[in-house]
Amino acid sequence: MGKEKPTTKTCKYCRTEIPRSAKVCPQCRKKQASGGCLTVIIMFIVFILLGSCFAEKDSRTANSSPKSANAESKKEVVETTMAEISTEDTSIPAEYKSALKKAKTYGDTMYMSKVGIYDQLTSEYGEKFSPEAAQYAIDNVEMDWNLNALNKAKTYSDTMSMSKAGVYDQLISEYGEKFTPEEAQYAIDHVQADWNANALEKAKTYQDTMSMSPAAIHDQLISEYGEKFTQEEADYAIANLN
C-alpha cells in the first residue's frame, strides 16, 4: 500500500502549518513559493537571452558590421517579458481584487475618505468584504485623499451652503466623512467658496421655511451648535436679507 501524500505544509515565514495547496499563508499573508511552471518559463527566457547575446558577440567578431543596436533591442524585449512574468501575481484572492475595484469606484465617484471606504467595504449593510480584503484594497488603491476631501468640501458648499467651520467639522466627523484633519484642512484651504453668499443663502432658508426674525437668524448663523458662520458673514447675511 503506497504512502499517502501529506495534506499540509509549513509556511516558510511564520512556520505555521497550512494546507499544502495554499498559495498564501492564512496566518501571515506571505506568498508561498510558486510552482515549477513559472520557473521553467523564466529559465527558458534566460536561456534565449544568453544564447542571443553569445550569438551576437560571435557575429561581431566575424563581421565588422555593428549589430549592437539590434542586440540591445532584443535584450530589452526579453527583459520586459521577464519583468511582466515576474510581477504577475496569481496568488491574490479574487475577493481581494473585487474589494480593490470597489474601493476605487467609491473613491473616484463618491470622493470618500480612506476610513469611509474601509467601513463601507466591511459593513454588513454595505459590501460585506472581509477585513483582510478591505485592508488590501485600502493599501493598494491609488487615490488622492486630499483631492477627495476638496471635492467633498465643494459639494457641501455648493449644495448645502455650509460655513467654512461647518464643512471642516463634517469632513472630519466620525459620523460624517472621516477624513484626517490634514486632509480636511487642505480642502478648506483650497476650496473656492463664497462664505458670505453661503451665509445669506442659509439666512433666506431660515426666513422662508421657519419665519424666523433677523435677530434669531443671526444667532443661528453664528452658533457653534448651528451654522458656525463668522460674525462678519452673519452680519452680511442679515444686511442683505430682503
DSSP result, the chain: -PPPPPSEEE-TTT--EEETT-SB-TTT-PBPPP-HHHHHHHHHHHHHHHHHHHHHHHHHHH--S--HHHHHHHHHHHHHHHHHHHH--TTS-HHHHHHHHHHHHHHHHH---HHHHHHHHH-TTTT---HHHHHHHHHH----HHHHHHHHHHHHHHHH---HHHHHHHHH-TTTT---HHHHHHHHHH----HHHHHHHHHHHHHHHH---HHHHHHHHH-TTTT---HHHHHHHHHT--
Please, are residues 63 and 55 in contact by the beta-carbon 8 Å criterion? no
Please, are residues 95 and 130 in contact by the beta-carbon 8 Å criterion? yes
Q: Rounded to the nearest 10 degrees, how much is the dihedral formed by the CA atoms of 31, 137, 121, 94?
A: -50
Q: pLDDT grade, residue 90 (50/70/90)? A: confident
pTM of the model: 0.64
Range of weakest confidence among 26-30, 71-75, 102-106: 71-75
pLDDT in tens, 127-153: 999 999 999 999 999 999 999 999 999
Please, are residues 162 and 156 in contact by the beta-carbon 8 Å criterion? yes
The predicted pLDDT at position 37 comes to 45
